[in-house]
Amino acid sequence: MISVLFVCYGNICRSPVAEGVFKTLITEASLDKKLSCDSAGTASYHLGQLPDRRTRENALEHGLTLTHRARRMTGDDLAQFDYFVAMDEMNLEAIEKLNYRSTGLHTSDTIFLLREFDPKVSDEPNVPDPYYEGPEVFEEVYQIVLRCCRQLLAYLIQQHNLKIGERAKE
């Protein structure tokens, strides 16, 4: 099973949306026996909380129900996950520091910024943090995450020679 961890700061806005979107894409491609994902934060301000209410409301508008509980990324995640996808440069740096201190196991081909997969040309490397913003930014985040997760899935399918609709032998 190939596993992906989406990471933002508090694990209540951006990374839970990425987790929910990616799980949906995995299921739609019938790859849920080959790929899995989770999300975490680099800070511990919201441990155990559901995603932000506005994040959940926006996700529901797109047919997603987010039930993830916020958690902090730990060194154990480095051994459990194959890929780490940060929502912004600050969190990318936090993942890289944790990786360096813990194992050094992961390299630049397993730790990414989500917007590296953005098919829309942008000079902005970060998914904006909508926490202090209005509903339009939550929608913008959803749209960025959706298009980037589609490309991330295509990348993983190519990298691991997966076939859409392929199921693991049980």
The catalytically annotated residue of 13, 14, 38, 118 is: 14
Predicted local distance difference test score (pLDDT) of residue 167 = 52
With respect to CATH, is domain 2-159 assigned 3.40.50.2300?
A: yes
Active site residue 13: no
Contact between 115 and 122 under an 8 Å Cβ cutoff? The reply is yes
**Phi, psi for residue 123 in degrees, rounded to 5:** -85, -10
| Cα–Cα distances in angstroms (integers) from residue 118 to residues 125, 150, 152, in the given order | 9, 9, 9
Q: How many CA atoms lie within 13 A of 44 on its CB side?
A: 3
**H or E element in which residue 89 lies:** helix 89-102
Active site residue 129: yes
In this predicted structure, the answer to whether residue 169 has a pLDDT above a threshold of 70 is: no
Pairwise CA distance, residues 149 & 47, whole Å: 25
Active site residue 38: no
Predicted local distance difference test score (pLDDT) of residue 170 = 41
* DSSP code for 67: -
Q: Which residues contact 29 (CB under 8 A, 6 or more apart)?
A: 153, 157, 164, 165
pLDDT (tens digit per residue) in 14-64: 999 999 999 999 999 999 999 999 999 999 888 889 999 999 999 999 999
Q: Which residues contact 92 (CB under 8 A, 6 or more apart)?
A: 86, 111, 112, 113
pTM of the model: 0.92
Predicted local distance difference test score (pLDDT) of residue 31 = 97
The catalytically annotated residue of 88, 129, 148, 149 is: 129
